[in-house]
């Protein structure tokens, strides 16, 4: 309650300052323009980047399993890190091809508070089903063992590391199948967005015959909702476990030491989407103080490393605490959902904020 009061006081002070100087608002883009900008400037480039990052992964796994050399392991770790960071940039786009057929869970099964992935993977390794090496066979297994988190599980097993020896023979079969499955999933998602009549066309051409979007407002709500979902995921799943001892949830890709890069890539992508939407241009002059508050919030989020420390590119001298990062992310989520989207005449219902 104290934080809420403090936030409201901050909003009021900014409002008085900006009203005094009389800042003028820019002409806002249309809802159609908002959707077009989100797709062309953010969504398509980020999914293309994920596809590009994933493409070399199978060869890197094969090389490790063939040689077990330090160079091969280093290359695989670097390739894997690039895919994880690219994935962090799209994790919150949980609609369209990412949502269809559960591809999001197949690509990255997290959070996993009950250790479901480890149990399923141990079961597979015990059974050693030879048919799992067949094309697309891993795609018929549990989503938990199909994607990046499953590959991380095998890569980070220090007791039986991936390599040419007999103990790792079947593990390599599974790892190679998973890497190929990640490529398949990223191909399917990008194709689903970009093909003629795909999801991009569906969002850009709403109408009575469109099964998903009847008008451009509905399409604009979709991308605004994705931004809100992303802020919620950052606050509740990445930051809140650091300040609430009752929450026992490991950070994403902690085994690989990629928690901080994942956070940084998530925040950078959210900021890019926020800029593409140009929601602030809908604000009337007396509400322009919100722009300054939002700018300060992005600086705070980007000054954190997501794990209680200072980001290497931080603009602030003192890194924000996890408590501040959590409150800032929550405040920005509320700002977008309750003020900026309202100013843009977009209705984002409460139930729509569930994400998946």
Digitized pLDDT (tens) for each residue of the chain, 356 residues in all: 444 444 444 444 444 444 444 444 457 899 999 999 999 999 999 999 999 999 999 999 999 999 999 999 999 999 999 999 999 999 999 999 999 999 999 999 999 999 999 999 999 999 999 999 898 899 999 999 999 999 999 999 999 999 999 999 999 999 999 999 999 999 999 999 999 999 999 999 999 999 999 999 999 999 999 999 999 999 999 999 999 999 999 999 999 999 999 999 999 999 999 999 999 999 999 988 999 999 999 999 999 999 999 998 777 778 899 999 999 999 999 999 999 999 999 998 754 444 33
Q: Where are the beta strands (DSSP E) in 65-158?
A: none
- What's the sign of the alpha-carbon dihedral 111, 173, 255, 90? negative
Structure tokens at 294: 């939002």
Report how far residue 133's alpha carbon sits from residue 229's, in angstroms, rounded to the nearest whole number.
36
User: What pLDDT is recorded for position 26?
Assistant: 53
How is 1-63 classified by DSSP, letter by letter? -HHHHHHHHHHHHHHHHHHHHTPPPPPPPPHHHHHHHIIIIIIHHHHHHHHHHHTTHHHHHHH
């Amino acid at each position: 309650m104290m934080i809420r009061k403090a936030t409201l006081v901050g909003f009021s002070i900014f409002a008085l300052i900006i009203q005094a100087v009389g800042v003028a608002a820019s002409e806002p883009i249309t809802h159609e323009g908002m959707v077009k900008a989100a797709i062309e400037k953010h969504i398509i480039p980020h999914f293309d980047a994920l596809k590009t990052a994933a493409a070399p992964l199978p060869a890197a796994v094969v090389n490790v399993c063939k040689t077990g050399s330090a160079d091969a392991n280093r290359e695989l770790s670097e390739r894997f890190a690039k895919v994880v960071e690219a994935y962090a940039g799209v994790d919150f786009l949980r609609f369209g091809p990412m949502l269809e057929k559960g591809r999001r869970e197949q690509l990255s099964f997290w959070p996993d508070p009950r250790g479901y992935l480890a149990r399923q993977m141990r079961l597979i390794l015990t059974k050693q089903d030879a048919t799992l090496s067949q094309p697309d066979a891993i795609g018929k297994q549990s989503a938990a063992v199909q994607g990046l988190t499953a590959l991380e599980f095998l890569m980070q097993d220090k007791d039986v590391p991936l390599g040419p020896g007999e103990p790792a023979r079947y593990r390599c079969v599974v790892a190679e199948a998973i890497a190929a499955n990640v490529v398949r999933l990223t191909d399917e998602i990008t194709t689903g967005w970009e093909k003629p009549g795909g999801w991009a066309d569906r969002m850009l051409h709403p109408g009575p015959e469109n099964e998903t979007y009847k008008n451009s407002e509905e399409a604009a709500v979709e991308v605004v909702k994705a931004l809100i979902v992303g802020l919620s995921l950052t606050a509740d799943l990445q930051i809140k476990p650091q300040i609430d001892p009752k929450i026992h949830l490991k950070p994403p890709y902690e085994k690989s030491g990629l928690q901080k890069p994942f956070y940084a890539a998530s925040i950078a992508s959210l900021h890019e989407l926020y800029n593409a939407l140009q929601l602030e241009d809908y604000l009337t002059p007396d509400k322009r103080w919100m722009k300054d508050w939002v700018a300060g919030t992005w600086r705070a989020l980007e000054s954190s490393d997501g794990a209680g420390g200072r980001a290497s590119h931080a603009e602030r001298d003192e890194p924000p605490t996890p408590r501040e990062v959590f409150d800032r992310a929550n405040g920005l989520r509320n700002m977008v959902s309750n003020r900026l989207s309202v100013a843009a005449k977009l209705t984002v219902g409460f139930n729509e904020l569930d994400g998946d």
